[in-house]
Structure 1
Amino acid sequence: MAEAPVRVVIVDDHSIFRSGLRADLDDSIEVVGEAGDAASAVSVIEATRPDVVLLDVHLPSGQGAAASGPDAAGGEAVIRAAGPVLPTTRFLALSVSDAAEDVVRVIRAGARGYITKGSSGAEVSRAVRAIAEGDAVFSPRLAGFVLDAFGAAVGETAATSDELDRLSAREQEVMRLIARGYAYKEVAAELFISMKTVESHVSAVLRKLQLSSRYELTAWASERRLL
């Protein structure tokens, strides 16, 4: 039996680009929706519940969705609005910009990857499949920005170890799965524990790490390269 296609929403303010990208993606990708601004993007994403959102970074806000930031932060606002509601949906930034601040900002918001619009249809298709399977994907020239921003100082590593020491071994297992976008039911099945036990562990993890939501937990784990 053939694998089900990866369901994708394309978010970009240029309709011609969206049409061209849709045509260039291979048969393993099914485009289930499109949007041209942040406000409509959030509505489309919540309605279609895609596996992956291909998202431009510099995106017009539309009404309401990106009220907390400038228009140029529209893509980031979409992730912050839709990400917590649909934790299994992953976001792949696809932008003409290769500026370090754009890359870092959208990854901090919760994107799982960042590739440039110079990528071919085959490259974008491969990136979408990788993101859907839980990997992180970056154009080669952008990977250094991510490593510099999220990595690397010895002091940060020590601080991360101290934070992880607050969690039991089981809490660390639950933390990583939740941060990767697993639903509570999926975590329970993976670890052979009850849903109630998963909920208890998640509450303990958030309390010990002084976080308020699973979205913040994903951002926390991503910054520390724990995913």
Structure 2
Amino acid sequence: MNNSPESGSGRRVRVVIVDDHTIFRSGLKADLDERINVVGEAGTVEQAIAVIAESRPEVVLLDVHLPGGLGGGGREVIAGSAALLATTSFLALSVSDAAEDVVSVIRAGARGYVTKTISGKEISDAVIRVADGDAVFSPRLAGFVLDAFGTAPADIADDELDKLSARELEVMRLIARGYSYKEVAKELFISIKTVETHVSAVLRKLQLSSRHELTKWAAERRLL
């Protein structure tokens, strides 16, 4: 367990890893970069709830399927840590990409869902984004969430979309689907800096303050 203090190079996000495979936990700890400080780990529902309560991490990397408890797995861990949801965010990390798994853990309160096929660098980036308040999804999985939580099409004032340029609309849709800035840049053949500029402009024009609000705004209007 890494309990070292924060380095002088900047903030390190306190993380608990919850997975029932010891070898996977060890490998994940080795792959996470220097921005992450692993302060605890657990392999069952009961262990997870106890470790999270004791260590008070900023982010919990949470497997969806876990032994123990009442059989609720990751959902049960989130429910058992409900008192900490104001200060601790949950990021599901699982081999499963089934829609029912994604939707159930998000309904329970997780801030995102990524699959175990992504790299240590990508997981580290996802942890940082979740710690900063973003909702993070592997691109293919975002659609499950939007389908589950989307409401009936809302009336869209023409001037809402008229505020956005064609390129800003493209960027907005990809960001709302859970793409990272790097993935958007690659998809649209533009620089990451240009993506950042477009996102800032979109948030300003739509009077939104975060990617999470942008995703909700787009989902409510079925713009994805």
TM-score (norm 2): 0.65
1:52–1:92 Cα contact (<8 Å) kept: yes
The letter of the residue matching 1:144 is G
Which of 211, 216, 220 is residue 225 of structure 1 equivalent to?
216
- Alignment match, 1:88: 87
- Alignment match, 1:109: 108
Percent of counterpart pairs with the same letter? 64
**Shift, 1:153, TM fit:** 1.8
Provide the secondary structure at the position in 2 that maps to 1:47: helix
The letter of the residue matching 1:106 is V
**Shift, 1:86, TM fit:** 4.4
Provide the secondary structure at the position in 2 that maps to 1:225: helix
**Shift, 1:74, TM fit:** 1.1
- Alignment match, 1:10: 17
> Using the alignment, how far apart are the partners of 1:108 and 1:121 within structure 2?
26
> Using the alignment, how far apart are the partners of 1:26 and 1:2 within structure 2?
13
Provide the secondary structure at the position in 2 that maps to 1:153: coil
- Alignment match, 1:21: 28
Deviation by residue 1:84-108 (Cα, 9 ceiling, x = unmatched): 2342100000000000000000000
The letter of the residue matching 2:83 is P
**Shift, 1:4, TM fit:** 1.6
> Using the alignment, how far apart are the partners of 1:91 and 1:118 within structure 2?
18
Match runs of 1:145-184 below 5 Å: 145-154=144-153
Which blocks of at least 5 consecutive residues in structure 1 are unaligned? Answer: 159-220
1:95–1:116 Cα contact (<8 Å) kept: yes
Change (3 A) 1:86 1:145: closer
Provide the secondary structure at the position in 2 that maps to 1:94: strand
- Alignment match, 2:59: 52
Deviation by residue 1:109-155 (Cα, 9 ceiling, x = unmatched): 0000000011100010000000000000000110110111111323x
Which blocks of at least 5 consecutive residues in structure 2 are unaligned? Answer: 1-7, 156-211, 218-224
The CA RMSD over aligned residues, in Å, is: 1.9
- Alignment match, 1:122: 121
**Shift, 1:225, TM fit:** 3.0
